[in-house]
Amino acid sequence: MDTKQNRPLRLHHNAWVVRDQRATRHFYEDIIGIPMVACWNERDEVFGGMRVYCHTFYQLADGGALAFFQFEDPRDYERFGPQFRPTPFIHIALKTTAETQQAIAERLAAADIEHFFIEHGYCCSLYVTDPDGLNLEFTVDDPRAEQINAERLRTRDADLERWLRGDHSSNNNWRRENT
């Protein structure tokens, strides 16, 4: 059986390659509200060549961070930057309070940045895309999150098996209607 002591402690950082550290800083620090806490300017021989880059960290409340690389050589962006088809299903989800989520939404609206909400039942999420195409979700858990999570844990094996057998009906009885 899995024990918490054998799991990673928390997200240290999630890294992304960007074209413009200035635009990235404006988006994450000024609009989203996550402070930049470190900037490393480095030169390393990696992946078949000398790479010169700027590596910034924006710290979350739990000590984890979002990190961003900008390369001196624009060809490195093309080689190492985002290469997937943009899709909202590839994203980073960050837990917030309702007040923080609302403040982010207000700053996004003031900056005329497109964003939207989805009420999932177990949480309410604000979605936005950063200047380099990274999709972000700012999530507020439902007040019944503990009860909801306990139910999903209890039924996880049967739910997965049902899906794999071809029964794709929803098991989300927490979603509010008409949202």
Domain around 67: 1-82
Kindly report each contact of residues 29-37 with a partner whose C-beta sits within 8 Å and lies 24 or more positions away, as own/partner. 29/58, 30/107, 31/104, 31/107, 31/108, 31/111, 31/113, 32/104, 32/107, 32/136, 33/100, 33/103, 33/104, 33/107, 34/58, 34/59, 34/60, 34/66, 35/59, 37/65
| pTM for this predicted structure | 0.82
pLDDT of residue 1: 55
Q: Which of 35, 52, 82 represents a domain boundary (last residue)?
A: 82
Is there a single domain that holds both residue 59 and residue 90? Answer: no
pLDDT of residue 179: 39
CA dihedral 34, 40, 45, 48 (to 10 degrees): 20
Is there a single domain that holds both residue 43 and residue 121? Answer: no
Contact of 41 with 23, CB cutoff 8 Å = no
Is there a single domain that holds both residue 60 and residue 122? Answer: no
Total structural domains within the chain:
2
Is there a single domain that holds both residue 51 and residue 94? Answer: no
* pLDDT mean by block of 10 residues, the chain; 179 residues: 71 91 96 95 90 94 94 91 73 93 97 95 92 92 88 87 87 68
Is there a single domain that holds both residue 130 and residue 152? Answer: yes
Q: Which of 60, 82, 104 represents a domain boundary (last residue)?
A: 82
Is there a single domain that holds both residue 69 and residue 90? Answer: no
CATH number at residue 138: 3.30.720.110
pLDDT of residue 18: 92
Pairing state between β 91-95 and 135-141? parallel
Residue 131's nearest CA partner among 72, 173, 70, 41 is 70
pLDDT of residue 178: 38
Cross-strand bridge partners of residue 135: 91, 129
